Chains A and B, each alone.
Chain A
Amino acid sequence: MRIQILGMGCAKCEKLEERTRKAAAELGLEFQVEKVKDLQQIMAFGVMVTPALVVDGVVEVAGKVPGVEEIKKLLAK
């Protein structure tokens, strides 16, 4: 599973990454996390608010940091 965290590097992005890693690990998924800090790449996803969570190329969350349980549900879809 390819997980991307979009954000130009703020505290919220770190938090989203931390929670996503935790959620994915708890689900026992095989995953890799990539941080996308480049503005052009972020905009290409069509998001206007960061941080955003992209799973296998699909924007799942934008502009908020959901709880670990919430992220688990998104990853398990």
Chain B
Amino acid sequence: MFTWLEWIANLLVVDVLKIERGSRAGSAMQFFVFDTVKIFILLTLIVYAITLIRSFFPPERTRRLLAARKGHRLIGHLLAALLGIVTPFCSCSAVPLFIGFVEAGIPLGVTFTYLVAAPMVNEVALGLLFGLFGWKIALIYVVSGEVIAIASGLIIGRLKMERFIETIAMTVKVGMAPEAERPSCRQRLREAWAFTRDLLKSIWPYVIGGIAIGALMHGWIPTGGLAKVAGRGNPFAVLIAVAIGIPLYSNAAGVIPLVSELTRAGVAMGTALAFMMAVTALSLPEMILLRRVLKPRLLAVFIAIVGAGIVFTGYLFNVIL
């Protein structure tokens, strides 16, 4: 699919920049040009596609769909995990969404399934994974993310922790949702494009930065050079990766290209997946916001369960991949 691009990258590096083929600088440069263009093409396509689907699932609709399935716990969790992918979400909306869900009578566990799936399976991560690791790893990431979200929600639901919701979440008066007009087809296409453009504008420096550092490492760290420290042999690698990943939220766009380079250098795939999930699913700013509606105990349980799920996934894929 991208042979033509490889050819152009080669032409640019060898004939235009006059860098010797096969030299360190040459291979780093070629890698950089090829990867950057390929990733931006895939990122644009995937972000656009997901944004377009999203226009059909405004949060009010998601809430309605979930509230209608209050009685069917498992279906509720499954639906919440799927809707997490296609409902627009930003960690700054976590609190109002949480209150909106609880107020509509959506079970606490189902709400958590949504809150785990929504940030973890996001369009940027998906586009970058597809571009850098291929569709198989992207698919593994999505499926594991959904499973972790469902499992975490089921467990939190079982623990009956409703009393650890801050009273403000129960007492706050929620106004009538504004009547939204149904956008026309053209409007959807145009708005999705505007969103895609805005998003790419805000993340491109991180993506390029990540790829550039990766390209530099490509020339200097031999393939498999990190296998000893972070390969399958080190049982602590997954734990350390998750611990580092949690505070890195805002830079998911720069982190994923770097991780792809690290896997080439020998970091085990499960460890890399766990790291990326920790980066996207658990973020410090979101936790601070959620503290407004969750008592410390519930917040701690939430972090612990999701964290454990990610660590487990890391070990699982270190064994089977």
Contacts and interface: CB of A to CB of B under 8 A. Distances in A.
A26 B123 CA distance: 33
Main secondary structure of the interface of B (DSSP, over half): helix
Main secondary structure of the interface of A (DSSP, over half): loop
Interface residues on B, range: 20 to 34
A67 B289 CA distance: 27
A46 B176 contact: yes
Interface in B167-205: 168, 172-178, 191, 194-195, 198
Nearest to B87: A49
A49 B100 CA distance: 9
Contact of B63 (A40, A48, A62): A48
A46 B177 contact: yes
A43 B174 contact: yes
B251 interface: no
A42 to B, nearest CB: 6
B178 A47 contact: yes
Contact of A39 (B63, B95, B178): B95
B46 interface: no
Contacts of A7: 92
Contact of B172 (A12, A43, A65): A43
Contacts of A70: 194
Interface of A: 7-10, 12-13, 39-40, 42-51, 58-59, 62-67, 70
